[in-house]
Amino acid sequence: MRILVTGGAGFIGSNFIRYVLSAHENWYVVNLDKLTYAGNLENLSDIAPDPRYTFVHGDIADKTLITQLLSANTFDAIANFAAESHVDRSIHDATPFIETNIQGTHVLLDAARAHGVKRFLQVSTDEVYGTLGSDEPPFTEHAPLAPNSPYAASKAAADLLARTYYHTFGLPVLITRCSNNYGPYQFPEKLIPLMITNALEGRPFPVYGDGLNIRDWIHVLDHCRALEAVLLGGVPGEVYNIGGSCELTNLEVVRSILQTLDLPESLITFVPDRPGHDRRYAIDASKIKAALGWKPQYRFQEWLPEVVRWYKEHREWWQRVKAGSYRQYYARQYEQRLNRNDFKRDVI
């Protein structure tokens, strides 16, 4: 399998690349990433020397680059992780969300169609379904799309655009909608890594509103295993929900982190709520379980302490990220390696 992964320097993409290269000897990955604030080559520094891995610095919305890349290579699959991914940032400014999540996905879909790519995996999100009431059943793939934030709307637009490329042009599109991920290398703007790193710095835990919003947590490696299953066995044109069946309020999550680190609840600070804050997400993942035999393996109560340990042991990683210095640090390394031709530019 020769696969183009976009957004592979981010949280889920980097975990996915590490996972598939260790699980499949004969998989080759080209990672195309714009290296926005969320893209960090350090996430893949252990993988960089692997001859089956190539990094290309670029934007999925850059039509010329994408055409060049797909003309120079035959990809069996494209897995599109590249996105602006943080809801709060989309409330502040939706522009990059429209450019990357919608326009970028459009460029990739057109190029995949023109070059006859055999599998196009669109990594979508459960946020496209909007919010659930406390008594409602979890979202199935048939739930209507009702996004409530600019981020969710941009992902819903990309998801629907991908669907049309299957129905109108016969592009073998696969769409996945996953719930909230946690795990190593998550950017510390998201709830769990923000709270863990704040705890390790002795800073308060800013909980939005009353802290009773519910998210359905899944370990990132369970998400990666599900994406692998969909790439290998999914039926084109189908949507697959992915979730950990682990609904927790934000306060429950935050209290588990405090308990793991033996810290007092007085660190919790209630702050003004996120505008338009979705109350509850929950995913019904029965379809992927029945159709592809996938099920989650990592239980939150067992694995949250492992993830806390990872952040304790990778203090330099998140300190560089929080300080913003990872960008200069890796930009320098990138230039040096480019000069030594480590990045195998022959793919474009």
- Give the three-state DSSP class for 36: coil
Rounded-to-integer distance, Cα 174 and Cα 230, Å:
7
Q: Phi-psi bin for 329: left (phi > 0), alpha (psi -120 to 50), beta?
A: alpha
Closest separation in Å from C-beta 213 to ligand DAU: 4
Q: Which residue, chain included where needed, has tokens 């804050």?
A: 277
DSSP string, 7-19: STTSHHHHHHHHH
Q: Of the candidates 3, 4, 10, 193, which one interacts with ligand NAD according to CB under 6 A?
A: 10
The dihedrals phi and psi of 291, each to the nearest 5 degrees, come to: -80, -35
The dihedrals phi and psi of 98, each to the nearest 5 degrees, come to: -70, -45
* x-marked contacts with ligand NAD along 153-192 as a string, rule CB under 6 A: --x----------------------x-xx-----x-----
Element at 176 (helix H, strand E)? strand 173-178
Burial of 328 (0-12, 13-18, 19+ CB in 10 A): exposed
Q: Any catalytic annotation for residue 126? A: yes
Closest separation in Å from C-beta 7 to ligand NAD: 3
* x-marked contacts with ligand DAU along 106-145 as a string, rule CB under 6 A: -------------------xxx------------------
Rounded-to-integer distance, Cα 138 and Cα 231, Å:
24
Restricted to residues 159-178, the positions that interact with ligand DAU (CB under 6 A) are none
Select the residue whose beta carbon is closest to ligand DAU and give its number: 125
The residue annotated as part of the active site, out of 127, 216, 228, 278, is 127
Binds 194, which of ligand DAU, ligand NAD, none (CB < 5 to 8 A, cut-off by type)? ligand DAU
Q: Any catalytic annotation for residue 59? A: no
* x-marked contacts with ligand NAD along 48-87 as a string, rule CB under 6 A: -----------xxx-------------------xxxxx--
Q: Does 7 bind ligand NAD (CB under 6 A)?
A: yes
User: Which of 145, 111, 117, 113 is CA-nearest to residue 131?
Assistant: 145
Q: Does 85 bind ligand DAU (CB under 6 A)?
A: yes
Burial of 220 (0-12, 13-18, 19+ CB in 10 A): buried
Q: Does 13 bind ligand NAD (CB under 6 A)?
A: yes
User: Which of 177, 274, 166 is CA-nearest to residue 226?
Assistant: 177
Restricted to residues 84-113, the positions that interact with ligand NAD (CB under 6 A) are 84-85, 100, 104
Rounded-to-integer distance, Cα 319 and Cα 55, Å:
24
Q: Of the candidates 86, 115, 255, 327, which one interacts with ligand DAU according to CB under 6 A?
A: 86
Residues carrying an active site annotation: 126-127, 151
Residues that bind ligand NAD (CB under 6 A): 6-7, 9-13, 32-36, 38-39, 59-61, 81-85, 100, 104, 123, 125, 155, 178, 180-181, 187
Residues that bind ligand DAU (CB under 6 A): 85-87, 125-127, 179-180, 190-191, 194, 206-208, 213, 215, 250, 274, 281
